Structure 1
């Protein structure tokens, strides 16, 4: 029975080759993987920063909305309606993972539930009275404001569970820009506020 043996020189050469090149290949693969992880972490950090900034801006907006209710006949009710989201957004802006705490979730869920009920009633009123220019009517502005709080709090729900993604941040930026632009537009064009009640004109 003949058994073929590998020539010693070939075996030694192969071993030397693997000792020389395999660690180098592994090192290059590791560097590439670390580079991809670093790029992903860098992208996530930017998205998180934008997300926190949006929440701080929305906190400011809801705080302003709270302030302008001081002349409203139902000031206490509406100040709570906007003040609670202002605080919740401020917490996210300072500590994004706060959305996973029990206290934050309970307060946010309660606010969303109550606001959704009020939004439904206001929406039915607008539909029944066939109001199309909702910003010209007090019920329409109340409807829009509460709807904004509901949408934003739903967007924030469980945002701290995992890194925020591009879709959530894109929606957040679009929503954040809209109320400031709309408020500035109505503030500059005073003729659009001619038919507003007096308590809606004098706050800011």
Structure 2
């Protein structure tokens, strides 16, 4: 069971439920295409957010590499989507996504939640921006680690002929880097991480239930 329950909701999502839903998605080429296309969009948004929030002369190799890898992940997921359904949309139009609005909302709400939490801190603007980037990335990578591992196992079991093992490895590397930087820069790291993890879980639960509703409507 995935813990870290949302403090505003009694709803939870187990790893078994994620497995069941992803198995249903993978069994339909159209749904599978939309799922991969949605992952591509989220990775693209992640890359764009890094470029937007991390600017100026202080950019590190880590940030530049992270942004480029997120963009590459977006392109790779799009390539996989079109391998699953060659006639699928080449764009991110509404009908080409799986619960797309809810997926983007999940990302945006997490981003805003973390940003708001730093408003009262007497830290330099650049430091706040960098910490927000680190925390949002950490939360996203933790969630991706759970979901991508389940998804990749299903791909192997169903012999779909595609793999995301390379992406999983890079996401794990990103998470290690985020943790290292946060432990060094933020004395409140542990408390803040737990606070953001609870918030992220609430946003994820809402997205998951919207996703499940759409998949069940399709079937």
Q: Same fold (TM over 0.5)?
A: no
Range class of TM-score, shorter chain: 0.3 to 0.5
Report the TM-score, using the length of structure 1 for normalisation: 0.36
Higher helix share: 1
Query: RCO higher in 1 or 2 (8 Å CA, sep ≥ 6)?
Result: 2
- Larger Rg, first or second structure (1 or 2): 1
Report the TM-score, using the length of structure 2 for normalisation: 0.34
